[in-house]
Structure 1
């Protein structure tokens, strides 16, 4: 983790990017392994997947983005600091790269957490694990609480819809919009 005030080195950005890629490969492998063990590895996780499911996910993601931006622009801003890791990751990434990273993270994490783990552990314990693996946010009580709440919401969306599509689309939308806002300097 870089210290405040230290100049950002392009090696830091590349290292963070490759750590993210490796982490997501491991998350995907864990998801596929657990789903295969459960006998649930198939397209049925993504069904029903009509346009209404994609739209519901988009609406859910934009709702979370709006809440996040409202809190960011309020007096709570100082508690929404991840130490600059998201800015380091997305700050110079191409918009196309942000799309690919957002999609990869959303698919892999939702397959593991909402697809495999929620099946065994339920929404509450899955959300706790989801929050804990995003350990960079644990330094802020507000970011931890928000991440836990978002995870509960994604778990509920999955439970109600019977599909991973809305939660994955919401996760993708959240990552994409906030990544683009970071890239273009609209948030810090």
Structure 2
């Protein structure tokens, strides 16, 4: 994790963005390639059942639950337990809100299609959650953050098992990421204001 964090700190904003976009496009490409072996168009279409009720109750509800727990833990636990080496700060702190919105939507969309839509649907919740957690490599050396990512992955996987809808987990994943990313942005702006006075 330290090597990745140090590498990101030496990268320009443009390089970080390009790296992020390439990663997400690779996940979408992987989903497409793996999906060709597991799905026909009809079965893939069934993953996209849309229910406004489910998106609000299960999607928004699960996201709010995660955010409440997350903010409580951030408040009461030592700050360094949440330190990912400044990776998320580098990604989000200087972005505009519309750009943060788009990035979080892209991340949620690409990750949920691959991990929930393709892997979990065909290989099960446990395998999908483990792969999801392991691929968040920057958390592997921070045991608390790694546990949080593992639990979040299992939780989103469970929500997907309940609803059988990618829209629900995409919305939940997006909502969680967007709120936390906007917090990073506002914390950064607040620190800049304090430096001016």
Query: TM-score, normalised to structure 2's length?
Result: 0.86
Residues 86/112 of structure 1: CA separation in 2 closer, same or farther (3 Å cut): same
- 1:71–1:77 CA contact under 8 A, matched in 2: no
Matched residue, 1:71: 73
What displacement does 1:94 show?
A: 0.5
Matched residue, 2:52: 51
Structure 2 stretches lacking a partner, 5+ long: 192-197
Matched residue, 1:92: 94
Structure-to-structure mapping, 1:124-143, within 5 angstroms:
124-143=126-145
> C-alpha deviations, 1:82-129, integer Å up to 9, x for none?
100100100000000000000001011000000001123211111111
- 1:79–1:143 CA contact under 8 A, matched in 2: yes
Matched residue, 1:163: 165
Residues 53/87 of structure 1: CA separation in 2 closer, same or farther (3 Å cut): same
RMSD of aligned alpha carbons: 1.9
Residues 71/40 of structure 1: CA separation in 2 closer, same or farther (3 Å cut): farther
What displacement does 1:13 show?
A: 2.1
- 2:92–2:184 CA contact under 8 A, matched in 1: yes
Structure 1 outlier segments of 4+, above 4 Å = none
What displacement does 1:36 show?
A: 2.4
- 2:115–2:128 CA contact under 8 A, matched in 1: yes
What displacement does 1:12 show?
A: 2.5
Matched residue, 2:181: 179
Q: Distance in 2 between matches of 1:69 and 1:13?
A: 27
Query: TM-score, normalised to structure 1's length?
Result: 0.90
More helix by share: 2
Q: 3-state SS of the aligned residue for 2:12?
A: helix
What displacement does 1:67 show?
A: 1.1
Residues 184/126 of structure 1: CA separation in 2 closer, same or farther (3 Å cut): same
Matched residue, 1:26: 26
What displacement does 1:40 show?
A: 4.5
Q: Distance in 2 between matches of 1:27 and 1:86?
A: 19
Larger Rg: 2
